[in-house]
Structure 1
Amino acid sequence: MAKDRYGNSLHACTPEAAGHLDRAVAALLHFSPEVAPAVEDAVAAAPTSPVAQSFAAYLGLLGTEPGEAAEARRRFHHFATGTDGSALPVRDRLHMAAAGAWLAGDLKRAGAHLEELTLMYPRDALALAVGHQLDFFTGDAVRLRDRIGAALSEWDTAEPHRGMVLGMYAFGLEESGHYALAEEAGLAAVEQNPRDVWAIHAVVHTYEMQGRVADGIGYLDARLGDWADGNYLNVHNWWHYALYALEAGDTGTALRIYDAAINNEASSGLAMELLDASALLWRFHLAGIGQAARWETLADAWAARADPPYYAFNDVHAVMSYAGSGRLDAAERLVADRRQWLAKAGRGGADSVTNHRMTAEIGLPVCEALIAHARGRHRTVVELLLPLRRRFHEFGGSHAQRDAVQRTLVDSALRAGRHDLTRALISERIGLRPDSTYNWLTRADLADALGDAAQAAVARDRARTAEGSAAKALHRRPPFPPSNGPGVTGLPGGPTAPW
């Protein structure tokens, strides 16, 4: 029986197909576009391989694209109906169960199947990588950490891919608040594999969550050639760079990054990229910096997708674009459509299909809050978001991504005159990120509202200090070549910087 590079047996798989699967797993770990053709090669070489077919199903789901998911569902159903699952080895059976559960919309059950698989086969890199992403999509920070931590001891330091597993662990550590450990693990992972873009991303997150903007800018600058193009994560890592630029008070650089790397004429229109675009422009919106033309283009991109109910996190960012562009009728229509969908699903479905619960409990209230914010109904925003502020993780994403919603609550609390609430929210944020420019500027705005000129001056001085440190790092960057536009989005062309 053929085996993969990690020693796992592959049922109904030829040595040729095993080689393709190894290539596909390596590409998945590197977020390389090579993963799709490698999986297709594996399926073609071993069409009855449950692992190959499950891998193909996972690929149809990882991008949160409804059309790709529907096609993956059709293909997998055709395979599964002709396969006696009870006769399969346990590893293959669990992969099929996980793929089937996810295709049916039950992300929690899919993750549980992969966790069971990992207990028996801790060196199944495919199960670890896919399970890790499921934990991310469901916002389960503890499992994001512990799924990988439970398997890490079985990966020998001599194994070249151990660093990739360590990079996943770093992100789980970061999302669960272990920033020092996360930074250590992420740096070690990148040391083992310089082009481990997920580990680079984990390190960037640790700096973001601690307000270490200068460190983050310096780290991304130093590794520009490792992350800036040729992978599925480059747009997201450019988004992180833009967030750093905003903290440095350099809105010009943030917008140049947006135009060159995040959303432009060459952009693919994929949900994962549009999420970043919405989340960045919404920060400009909250700061009172108008971006009418960019909002219009972005709202057009979301509208062109015409997504059915699929992932509440995507819906929230689509509504963000509609609210930012003033298309409140479009935002209201999306909310009404999701309400009708929930009504048709009934109570039973809400317990079994993950996105039903995400939409009903988190997605719709957040969408309604964004619409209310655009209408200037800030008391309504507070009423909608305040009860959920410690539950936002339940509809997925990272702390950094969800911070756009947290900032919306802070902004509306201040505008609604809820000064005690605003003070508490800002106090929480400063306690966690004492060097954040945004936190101190908002504290100054609150002091102004309270008529405390002295406190406002102190807060603005702290903001200037934080901003100055970040700005120095931003302006120390090396003389990158001029932007060629598509080169920074993973299309042909070398690594470039959009300034």
Structure 2
Amino acid sequence: MAHTDSRGLPISTDSADAARLYREGVDLLLSAWPGTVETLQQAIEADPDFALAHAALARALAIRARMTEAAACIALASDLVARAGSARERSHVATLALAISGQGPKALEAVLAHVESWPRDVIVLNLPLGAFGLFAFSGMKDHDQARVDLCERHAGHFDADDWWFLTYRGWSHAENGAVRLGRDLTQRGFELRPRNANGAHALSHAMFEDGAGREAEAFVAGWLPSYDRSGVLHGHIAWHEALSALERGDADRALAIYEQYVQPSASLGLPINILTDTVSLLWRLQAYGHEVPAGLWENAKAYAIDRFAKPGLAFADVHLGLLAAATGDKAAAAERIDALTRLVEEGALAAGPVVPAICRAALAFAEGDYAACARMLEPMAGEVARIGGSGAQREIFEDTLLVALMRSGEAVKARNLLDERLHRRPSPRDALWKGQVAA
């Protein structure tokens, strides 16, 4: 009997147990749900020669930043699929191998070619999507539109009740400005599979972009207890709840969530999420005029210092720039800015000059030179999308520009920016700021 994956594609295993466990493991992987690694390992135990199970396990380990193990798994998958694999399976493994080894441009090219022939190969199609996907980290300015285009190109190949495709199609639209459509799609996907951290995450983003901060906060508070703390998105989804609390001015609530779920000692999430969530929430607290409790900045710095020593990942680099500025570490800030500038000059930083520019602006902001900060950030406003991440995550840089404009006396520019933001996404914080600027 021929076995298939969860979307009906043939898979090369003679074991019914291995096929069943692979389907379950892939859906857990796509849900960012605990048990992914263990389930895929069970599939491999049922059939040690099952190449796709080794490849999926490699992807799961890479997501968790267990890169040595991931490299070993994908190497074994490559050997196995070369001996006994279909054309689709060989392309699948080769594409994952490029992504896992950090060859982003080649991986993206391989994904786009692969899904033209096998659009329902969801592990591969998943690679360019999301805030940290191959599109987002490609350095493209229009990666939000690219995700929408990819989803719409292949939408006809998916069932109307495919919870995974609904989730990412909806998330892509919400990030690209079609917020109501995106929210409706993500809501449908979440309702089909509530035990889905990627679905809860996408829905919280759509609510944020819809100006429904209180609703997002209540949604996360109600859903998060169903998600084990070992889940890779647990701390990040809690960050969304804290962000919504901070938007409505409840700094105490935001800090309580931060200390319970988000800070490095509390979160078991991905290193890049822990870095960026901690730094961005503490920076926002400080920029909005709230006090950051003693020790929190130092704890964030202690976590980041060894894990992100090498520059070149733009989204991490800009947050490390914020961290160095906030902690007064001018030497670290200067060292990273110099390194990033060299990478730009060598053409080795896909996101380009916006990355060192943000780091320089953060240093000026922390030193109280708000006019200089604004001068650096204003010309880069249209380039910030190149660093990747989501709209909610990148808003910190627009917030920094706005506060710098207000504090440097640029009332007209600040009002214009606030008007545009309030039109794009109603926010209680922006409404308050507009009143202050008008006064």
- Shorter-normalised TM range: 0.7 to 0.9
Paired amino acid for 2:307 = R
Q: In structure 2, how many angstroms separate the alpha carbons of the residues matched to 1:302 and 1:336?
A: 19
Amino acid aligned to 1:409: L
- Which of these residues, 349, 364, 368, is aligned with residue 376 of structure 1? 368
Q: Give the letter aligned to residue 328 of structure 1.
A: K
Residue in 2 that maps onto 1:178: 178
* Equivalent position amino acid for 1:316 in 2: V
Post-superposition offset of 1:401? 0.3
Matched AA of 1:235: G
Of the structure 1 ranges 404-413 and 207-216, higher mean CA displacement relative to structure 2 is found in: 207-216
Alignment of structure 1 residues 25-424 onto 2, 5 Å: 25-43=26-44, 49-63=50-64, 65=65, 68-69=66-67, 72-73=70-71, 76-77=74-75, 80=78, 82=79, 89-133=86-130, 134=133, 135-138=135-138, 140-157=143-160, 162-227=162-227, 229=229, 231-263=231-263, 265-268=265-268, 270-291=271-292, 292-339=294-341, 346-347=346-347, 350=348, 356-358=349-351, 360-424=352-416
Deviation at 1:172, TM superposition (A): 0.9
Seq. identity, %? 25
Equivalent in the alignment of 1:439: 430
TM-score normalised by structure 1 residue count? 0.77
- What do residues 434-463 of structure 1 show as CA deviations (whole Å, max 9, x unaligned)? 3x122123223333xxxxxxxx2xxxxxxx
Equivalent pair of 1:146/1:172 in contact (CA under 8 Å): no
Q: Is the 8 A contact 1:170 1:199 kept in 2?
A: no
| Runs (5+) with no aligned partner, structure 2 | none
The amino acid that maps onto 2:350 is R
Query: 1:259: Cα distance to partner?
Result: 0.4
TM-aligned CA deviation for residue 294 of structure 1: 1.0
Structure 1 position 77, deviation (Å): 5.0
Deviation at 1:295, TM superposition (A): 1.0
Query: Do the aligned partners of residues 84 and 222 (structure 1) sit closer, same or farther apart at CA in structure 2, a change above 3 Å counting?
Result: closer
Change (3 A) 1:36 1:122: same
- Specify the SS of the correspondent of 2:11: coil
* Structure with more contact order per residue of length (Cα contacts < 8 Å, sep ≥ 6): 1
1:254 partner letter: A
SS in 1 for 2:157: coil
**CA contact 1:190–1:196 (8 Å) conserved in 2:** yes
* Structure-2 separation of matches of 1:225 and 1:131: 29
Q: Is the 8 A contact 2:344 2:353 kept in 1?
A: no
**Structure 2: how far apart are the matches of 1:339 and 1:60?**
32
> Are the structure 2 counterparts of residues 364 and 60 from structure 1 closer, same or farther at C-alpha, using a change threshold of 3 Å?
farther
Alpha-carbon distance in 2 for matches of 1:78, 1:212: 47
Q: Is the 8 A contact 2:221 2:241 kept in 1?
A: no
What is the letter of the counterpart of residue 109 of structure 1?
K
TM-superposed deviation, 1:260: 0.3
**Paired letter, 2:274:** E
Q: Per the alignment, do residues 174 and 84 of structure 1 end up closer, same or farther by CA in structure 2, a change over 3 Å counting?
A: closer
Change (3 A) 1:42 1:227: closer
Alpha-carbon contact 2:29-2:60 (below 8 Å) kept: no
1:227 positional shift: 4.6
Q: Distance in 1 between matches of 2:214 and 2:424?
A: 17
Once residues 92 and 264 of structure 2 are traced to their aligned partners in structure 1, the CA distance between those partners, rounded to angstroms, is 38
Partner of 1:470: none
Structure 1 unmatched runs, 5+: 351-355, 448-455, 457-499
Q: CA deviation at 1:263?
A: 0.8
Would the aligned equivalents of 2:111 and 2:124 in 1 still touch at CA under 8 Å? yes
Give me the TM-score of the superposition, normalised by structure 2. 0.87
User: Are the equivalent residues in 1 in contact too, given 2:264–2:303 (CA < 8 A)?
Assistant: no
Mapped to 2, the partners of 1:335 and 1:55 lie a distance apart of 37
Instruction: Render the CA deviation track for 1:36-81: whole Å, top value 9, x for unaligned.
Output: 2333444555555553343344334435x4xx3455346545764x
Could you tell which deviates more after superposition, 43-52 or 231-240?
43-52
